[in-house]
Structure formats: structure tokens, C-alpha cells
Amino acid sequence: MKISCVILTMGNRVAELNRAVESALTQVDGDVEVVIIGNGADVPELAATPPPGSAATVKTVRLSHNAGIPEGRNRGVQECSGDVVLFLDDDGWYASDKVASHVRDRFAAEPDLAVISFRVMDPDGKVVQRRHVPRLRAGDPERSSPVTTFLGGACAIRRSAYLQVGGLPEKFFYAHEETDLAWRLLGEGYRIEYDAEPVMYHPLVLPSRHADFYRLNARNRVWLARRNLPWPLAVLYLLDWVVLTLARERSSMALKAWFRGFAEGLREPAGERRPMTWKTAWHMFRLGRPPIV
């Protein structure tokens, strides 16, 4: 199986991008096809090159504007030719040179496997943030398990399954686009797994560093529910997240931004509605994460 790796960049982290590309190109028995998407920026000249004798390649594409994470990754998938696509953040890198071979073996042996979500570790403290373990019981990040969502910048996806369900929702721009894709994959009978063996290193950062984090987080939760859930579950899901947000968030500015985004999600078109079946919802419940939280 051919492996591709899609990396988005804004062109402003040259050293980090070099490190990310090198970690993909030097995979043992990998011959990884690296596709770098300049998201509204030129892709900087890189020092990282394929090792001598390797069939690994590097391709760069510049988008005319910052199209957001989902559209950028969709374009990367269009440009690559691998059977399996790795998504890698430009400030992340693989902790091992055996990630590609591990991924290839798993996807070749498990035809119903659509996504592997990697373990993400802080390279300095060697810790794993709870939000990087995509399940409710996140206390043991070294335990692999079936899950109902995944980490977009640290994963491997079967390209045919990705294309089958239409890829990532480009309207989302940022936040929850992976969950939208995951729910649609589950609805088609595919499996998603958090696999603790392959590790991606990533600096310890908070998602709230993004200026529009709270607004987009709320807007996209509403869109996620409107696009994918039967209406009774959609109402429960959104009410649940209103209560959780009020209980967790102490900043009045953050709450104002969140509820502004929530209203935007109710008001603006969410895109194509394809509600999951009750059978899929029950399957998610049995996996430990019903689609109301």
C-alpha cells in the first residue's frame, strides 16, 4: 500500500516544517509521498530531501488564500496518490521511523479500518494531554481502543473511505471537522481506532490560542449536530454542550464569543444534512461515546 503524507503550512515555521517533512521522508520501508499545502502562503524552500536511493517524493502546492484546515487537507488528498494518507501538523513530527510500516501493515490486514488516531506527546515533558486521547476515559493514553473521532493532525486515513464520504466539511474552516468525517465513516460501517503505538511529538499548546477558537468551536458544534444527528439527538447534544460550557468556562469574553458562534450555527446554512441511523448512534453508545456528548 502506498503511503502519502499531507502537511499544511502558513509558511511561517520553516525549521519546524523541515523537521516534520524529514520525519516523514525517513520512514523505514516507507517511500512516503509528501504533499505540502501552502495555505495562502508560499511553501518555504526546504532542507529536508528524500534519502539517497529512496522512492519518497515531495510535492508543494500553494493555495491563493487561507482556505482553512478542512479545505486545505481535502486539496492535499486530491493531490496525493497514496492508498493511506497521513495528516501531520507542520510543527509536529514522528517519534519513530516505523510509523509508515506500522500503518501499512494495519490497513492492509484490516479492510474495515478507516482511521488510526496516533498518540500525541509533548517532546519535553513526555506527557499526553487529555484532549489528545479521543475518548471519554482518557486516563491511560497508552491503551489503544476503538473510538468515535480522531485527531486531525496526527492520524492515518484510508483514502478510498475518505473520498467515499466526501472528505472534510470545508465550511467548518477549523474545529470539529474530524468528528463530522468520523461520524459519516461510522455510518458506512468503518472502524476508527486510537492506536497508542505510533507517536507524534507536538509542542504543548492550547487550542484557545486561536483568536476565533470559541466562536468556531460553538458554530461548528451546531453545524455538526444539524448535519449528522437525528433531531432528538441533535437537541440533546446541543443542550448538553451549552450546560458543559457554562459549567467549565469562567471568562465572560469567551462565553460571549461561544454563544455568538452558537447563534451563528443556528442561523447559517450547515451544508448537506445526512443524519446517522439509530443503529449507528447505538453503535457509538456501545463504544462509550454516545452522540450527545
Q: Is the dihedral of CA 175, 90, 54, 30 positive or negative?
A: negative
The CA R_g of the chain, rounded to the nearest whole Å, is 19
Percent over 70 (pLDDT), the chain: 98
Residue 211 has pLDDT above 70, yes or no: no
What is the rounded CA–CA span in Å between residue 229 and residue 241?
A: 14
Q: Is the dihedral of CA 106, 108, 109, 113 positive or negative?
A: positive
Q: CA 246 → CA 82, 121, 243, 250, 255, distances in Å? A: 43, 29, 5, 8, 8
Query: Domain limits of the chain?
Result: 3-205, 208-286
Mean pLDDT of 31-54: 94
What is the rounded CA–CA span in Å between residue 134 and residue 118?
A: 10
Mean pLDDT of 254-275: 97
Q: CA 272 → CA 124, 165, 226, 227, 236, distances in Å? A: 42, 12, 9, 6, 21
Residue 180 has pLDDT above 90, yes or no: yes
**Average pLDDT, rounded, for the chain:** 95
Mean pLDDT of 281-288: 96
pTM value? 0.95
Q: CA 85 → CA 80, 131, 219, 260, distances in Å? A: 8, 23, 28, 35
Closest CA to 5 of 40, 47, 41, 48: 48
Query: If you search the block for the grid coordinates 492520524, which residue do you land on?
Result: 155
Query: Looking at residue 209, what is its pLDDT?
Result: 59
Query: Looking at residue 30, what is its pLDDT?
Result: 75
Residue 53 has pLDDT above 90, yes or no: no
Fold assignment, 3-205: Spore Coat Polysaccharide Biosynthesis Protein SpsA; Chain A (3.90.550)
* Nearest-10 crossing angle of helices 231-248, 252-267: 170
The model's pLDDT over 104-163, given as tens digits with 9 standing for 90+, comes to 999 999 999 999 999 999 988 777 888 899 999 999 999 999 999 999 999 999 999 999
What is the rounded CA–CA span in Å between residue 285 and residue 139?
A: 19
Query: Looking at residue 29, what is its pLDDT?
Result: 80
